[in-house]
Structure 1
Amino acid sequence: MRLGFGLPTFGPAANEVNGIARFAADAEKAGATSLWVGDRLLTPVDPVVGYSPGSTAIPEEFRVATDPLTALAVAAAVTGEVRLGSSGINAPWYPPALLARALASIDVASGGRLIAGFGSGWSPEEYEAAGVPFEGRGARLDELLDVLVAWWTTNPVSHRGPLFTIPAGHVELKPVQRPRPPIYLGAFGPRALRRVGERADGWMPVWWAPEVFPVAQLTQGWATVRESAERAGRDPATISMILRVNVAAGTPVEVVAEEVLKVRSVLPAEEVFVDFTFVASSVGHTLDLVGNLLDLVSAE
């Protein structure tokens, strides 16, 4: 099984000096096959929308949040084999040309190891802080993806759309991966799942350890992705899945191993990665959990 892990970009571990570099290098040595970042900007004092459906609560761990592009660049510098992914960058917050340049630079710096994963976020307050309208974020994501593909695959680059304009210009820094890095989308609602099938290289669903909803929700989502691909004239077999497993506070690593093996047996994920943000108290603690989980999974 290909098993990756979230970088320590949130919570107390994210405040440790050189923590991301230490974790990335040691996790690769331990056997991780990928390393991942998420994207949070701030934790509102009085949030309108919470992290979990039906709640307005947001985990305290998100009060410490590292810039995901910086974290990927650091990880690229201290590793040589692991894939480096974002699950996911809240793409509508970013000017598309600047995001395209940053991610192309990371792919070059890493020798072609980037997995570009995007979402549209859920916090109105974060959108306000980023200076971007919360309404219309889906349309903004759609056009931003158009810009990314153009920036990475054409030269000169140009784009004219309802939201963004890129005047014709020479952009000769291109990703190592051809024709471009794979684009994965996090999606749960019907329109977002259709977007995966219509234009993405893969889907990034989320699972929790311990289980908080039936796995049928993910199998149904995967069916929607594949059906949407067929309707768009694409071969569903060309679309992949990378599964994120969030670990709830207080969950023993043995339970995490059980959940990883269980859900991996049901879903055709090419890779699973585990995020210990809500469990780990430090970089060292996170590395201990990584080693324990790798031992448990490899023993099966």
Structure 2
Amino acid sequence: MKIGFTLPQVGKVAWQAPQVARYAREAERLGAASLWVIDRLLSPVDPEIGYNGADTFPEEFSAILDPFVLLGVAATATERVEIGSNILNTPWYPPALLARTLTTLDVLSGGRLVPGFGTGWSPEEYVAAGVPMKERGARLDETLDALEQLWTADPAEFHGEHWQVPATKSALKPVRRPPVYLAGFAPAAMRRVARRADGWLPAVAPPGMTDLDAMVVKPLAAIRAMRADLGRDPATLDAILRVYPTVRSTTVVADVADTIKRVQDQTDVRHVLVDLMYQADDVDGLLGLVEWILDATR
């Protein structure tokens, strides 16, 4: 089982940004397989839609670091681990700018980028990004088409309803075409995964929301069946599971380790990322949890 961890990006650890490189190096030394970022733009005071079913956003989101900068730090501070996003709210970014940034990260890391894409769900963030939220699905689809062009063709060109990339010389490419991972449980999102993705990004939240059959096994089987119906090989669809303990707990190491062991026994997922956003106030505290979780799952 490959086990990855989020970078120190959110909450009190965001104030320790100068230590991100040390965290990345030490997490790699301890045996982490991958390092990850999330993508939040705002922490609305009075959100139209709260976070994870609540009426508000977590206090941790009042301080958050840029995902692209952190991936750049991790890319240059490490040699082996994959670096990834779970997820980038893709419709916020013009495809040409996104392709340039992701290509840079892949080249910096020597081909270790695993980009995860999604649409987000916060109306206030879409207002701040200047993008109509009702267009998010269509913009994501066009972005995937434009990225494919910019990553594989030279010259590259894309013309859609929402995004335009005039014909351009595009000599610098990623070390290898980055695998496209998509998130989402809604029917449209699952159909998009089946049609377009190299992998799916489900999530569980121990200790409570960890029904692997309902949250991983059955949806993954459904996506693979859709993929087969489209004439694509269902066996080529990978999955990386986000293990996301949403409450601080003294049993978090045991809860996470138990979840990972059940994932290994009950599913065919072989890569998990552990999001420790709520679990520590400083980088050393995070590194302690990384070490304990890796030890507990060996």
Residue identity in the other structure for 1:88? I
Partner SS, residue 66 of structure 1: coil
Instruction: State which of 205, 218, 222 in structure 2 corresponds to 1:224.
Output: 222
Moved beyond 3 Å, runs of 4+: none
For residues 129 and 16 of structure 1, the distance between their equivalents in structure 2, rounded to whole angstroms, comes to 26
Structure 2 runs not aligned, ≥5 long = none
Equivalent position of 1:145 in the other structure = 144
Q: Is residue 211–residue 259 contact of structure 1 (8 Å, CA) maintained in 2?
A: no
Q: Is residue 12–residue 282 contact of structure 1 (8 Å, CA) maintained in 2?
A: yes
Equivalent position of 2:290 in the other structure = 290
For residues 181 and 159 of structure 1, the distance between their equivalents in structure 2, rounded to whole angstroms, comes to 19
Note the C-alpha offset of 1:213: 5.2
Instruction: State which of 233, 236, 241 in structure 2 corresponds to 1:235.
Output: 233
Structure 1 runs not aligned, ≥5 long = none
Q: Is residue 49–residue 55 contact of structure 2 (8 Å, CA) maintained in 1?
A: yes
Partner SS, residue 244 of structure 1: strand
Equivalent position of 2:116 in the other structure = 117
For residues 234 and 199 of structure 2, the distance between their equivalents in structure 1, rounded to whole angstroms, comes to 10
Partner SS, residue 4 of structure 1: strand
Equivalent position of 1:135 in the other structure = 134
Q: Is residue 263–residue 269 contact of structure 2 (8 Å, CA) maintained in 1?
A: no
For residues 19 and 51 of structure 2, the distance between their equivalents in structure 1, rounded to whole angstroms, comes to 25
Q: Is residue 37–residue 86 contact of structure 2 (8 Å, CA) maintained in 1?
A: yes
For residues 85 and 71 of structure 2, the distance between their equivalents in structure 1, rounded to whole angstroms, comes to 8
Q: How many residues align?
A: 295
Q: Is residue 36–residue 86 contact of structure 2 (8 Å, CA) maintained in 1?
A: yes
Partner SS, residue 273 of structure 2: strand
Residue identity in the other structure for 1:230? A
Counterpart check, 1:8 vs 2:8: yes
Note the C-alpha offset of 1:267: 2.1
For residues 88 and 233 of structure 2, the distance between their equivalents in structure 1, rounded to whole angstroms, comes to 26
Counterpart check, 1:105 vs 2:100: no
For residues 196 and 22 of structure 2, the distance between their equivalents in structure 1, rounded to whole angstroms, comes to 36
Equivalent position of 2:256 in the other structure = 256
Equivalent position of 2:196 in the other structure = 199
Q: Is residue 245–residue 274 contact of structure 1 (8 Å, CA) maintained in 2?
A: yes
| TM-score (norm. length: structure 1) | 0.96
Note the C-alpha offset of 1:220: 1.9
For residues 114 and 258 of structure 2, the distance between their equivalents in structure 1, rounded to whole angstroms, comes to 26
Q: Is residue 42–residue 62 contact of structure 1 (8 Å, CA) maintained in 2?
A: yes
Equivalent position of 1:31 in the other structure = 31
For residues 18 and 287 of structure 2, the distance between their equivalents in structure 1, rounded to whole angstroms, comes to 14
Correspondence list, 1:15-164, <5 A: 15-53=15-53, 55-164=54-163
Note the C-alpha offset of 1:66: 1.0
Residue identity in the other structure for 1:294? L
| TM-score (norm. length: structure 2) | 0.97
Q: Is residue 13–residue 19 contact of structure 1 (8 Å, CA) maintained in 2?
A: no
Partner SS, residue 178 of structure 2: coil
Equivalent position of 2:267 in the other structure = 267
For residues 59 and 255 of structure 2, the distance between their equivalents in structure 1, rounded to whole angstroms, comes to 23
121-130 vs 59-68, which deviates more?
59-68
Q: Is residue 50–residue 56 contact of structure 1 (8 Å, CA) maintained in 2?
A: yes
Q: Deviations over 1:142-174 (max 9, x none)?
A: 111001111000000101111111111101110
For residues 214 and 116 of structure 1, the distance between their equivalents in structure 2, rounded to whole angstroms, comes to 26
Partner SS, residue 40 of structure 2: coil
Q: Is residue 260–residue 272 contact of structure 2 (8 Å, CA) maintained in 1?
A: yes
Residue identity in the other structure for 1:226? R
For residues 260 and 61 of structure 2, the distance between their equivalents in structure 1, rounded to whole angstroms, comes to 24
Counterpart check, 1:176 vs 2:169: no
Equivalent position of 1:188 in the other structure = 185
For residues 17 and 159 of structure 2, the distance between their equivalents in structure 1, rounded to whole angstroms, comes to 43
Note the C-alpha offset of 1:262: 1.4
Partner SS, residue 21 of structure 2: helix
Partner SS, residue 240 of structure 2: strand
The percentage of aligned residue pairs carrying the same residue is 47
Partner SS, residue 133 of structure 2: coil
